[in-house]
Amino acid sequence: MKFLSVLVFLQCLLTPMISKADPTSALIKSYAASRNLPIIDAVREFIHQNSDHGEGVWNQTHGNDNAYVLDHLYRTAIGDMSAKRPELLCGNRSTAMQALLSNLGIRSRTIYLYSQYSGSFMGHVFVEAMNPATGSWEIQDADYNVAYEDEDGHRLGIAQMIAISDFSKVYPVNSVARGWEAVKVERLMIGQFFNLAYSPTEGMLYYNQQALDTGLVAVAETYIHTSFGKVNYTPAKIGSTLVRPLLVFKGGVYENERVPLPD
């Protein structure tokens, strides 16, 4: 009887966690089926569609409380009028995505991008997810609602994005659009966010020749050690292109000061 009592007690503890995860997972699976989307894409779109990018009062109060964020994402999705629509930054959305992927049994890892565009040091965060259908890591950016693929439709990971020499062979995609301008992520390319990436889970710092020659590698390493403390990682130079040409949009490349970049 004592043994059974312990089991009942454990079940009571676990039931709230399970029941809280299951409705969201079920909702995402239903959305994926209705749109004929891969489950990973459905997670990304669920987060993007049920939150706004921002760092106002809601974000400052609740943005780093992931349990609260997940609760309000779900309640927003089902039309609960008492819910407050989450206001999240790229890092908050990435944390939420990792939690939801984990509930679905899908591995993921955080990727930090750094840039020195126009002399300003900036960062952006998304996740790489292990696609259960392909067995490959692929970029999933819930902040911009985008994944990336090559000309043949194969999904790309961050190492491939940094090494690739021609942006015209990369296609940003989501459920409604395909292409840099159509998906509205040209600012990441113009802002030079695909020259260097830090993957703490892998213990890797990926960079290309442009990141090395512009001094971005040194600046990023200083920032990483300041922000993350004493960390061990392997610097890996990939790709041989000095400077990749930007694609031309709307008759001309955006002027530096007019390009909207990530917050």
In DSSP notation, 177-245 reads -BSHHHHT-HHHHHTTTTSEEEETTTTEEEE-HHHHHTTHHHHHHHHHHHHH-S---EEEE----SSPP
The CA distance from 165 to 152, in Å, is: 16
Residue 153: which region, alpha, beta or left (left: phi > 0; alpha: psi -120 to 50)? left
Q: How many CB atoms lie within 10 A of CB 17?
A: 11
pLDDT of 256 reads: 39
Give the strand pairing for 204-207 and 108-115.
unpaired
Q: How many CB atoms lie within 10 A of CB 85?
A: 13
User: pLDDT-derived band of residue 239, with 50, 70 and 90 as boundaries?
Assistant: confident
Cβ atoms of residues 53 and 126 within 8 Å: no
The CA distance from 249 to 23, in Å, is: 42
Q: How many CB atoms lie within 10 A of CB 170?
A: 19
Q: Of 63, 60, 61, whose CA–CA distance to 88 is shortest? A: 63
Mean pLDDT of 70-93: 97
pLDDT of 253 reads: 45
Pick the more confident residue, 19 or 213: 213
pLDDT of 14 reads: 36
Q: What are the backbone angles phi and psi of residue 147, rounded to the nearest 5°? A: -120, 170
Kindly tell me the burial class for residue 151, based on how many C-beta atoms sit within 10 Å of its own C-beta (0-12, 13-18, 19 or more).
exposed
pLDDT of 244 reads: 76
pLDDT of 16 reads: 41
The CA distance from 136 to 246, in Å, is: 27
Mean pLDDT of 141-154: 97
Q: Of 96, 95, 86, whose CA–CA distance to 56 is shortest? A: 86
254 pLDDT exceeds 70? no
**Mean pLDDT taken over the chain:** 87
pLDDT of 30 reads: 95
Pick the more confident residue, 14 or 247: 247
The CA distance from 205 to 124, in Å, is: 15
Read off the pLDDT of residues 85-140 as tens digits, 9 standing for 90 and up: 999 999 999 999 999 999 999 999 999 999 998 888 999 999 999 999 999 999 99
Residue 123 tokens read as: 């960062």
Cβ atoms of residues 207 and 237 within 8 Å: yes
The CA distance from 227 to 242, in Å, is: 28
66 pLDDT exceeds 80? yes
250 pLDDT exceeds 90? no
CA distances from 219 to 120, 211, 250, 262 (A): 11, 10, 33, 19
What lies within 8 Å, CB to CB, of 70 at 6+ separation is 20, 24, 96, 99, 100
Mean pLDDT of 179-188: 93
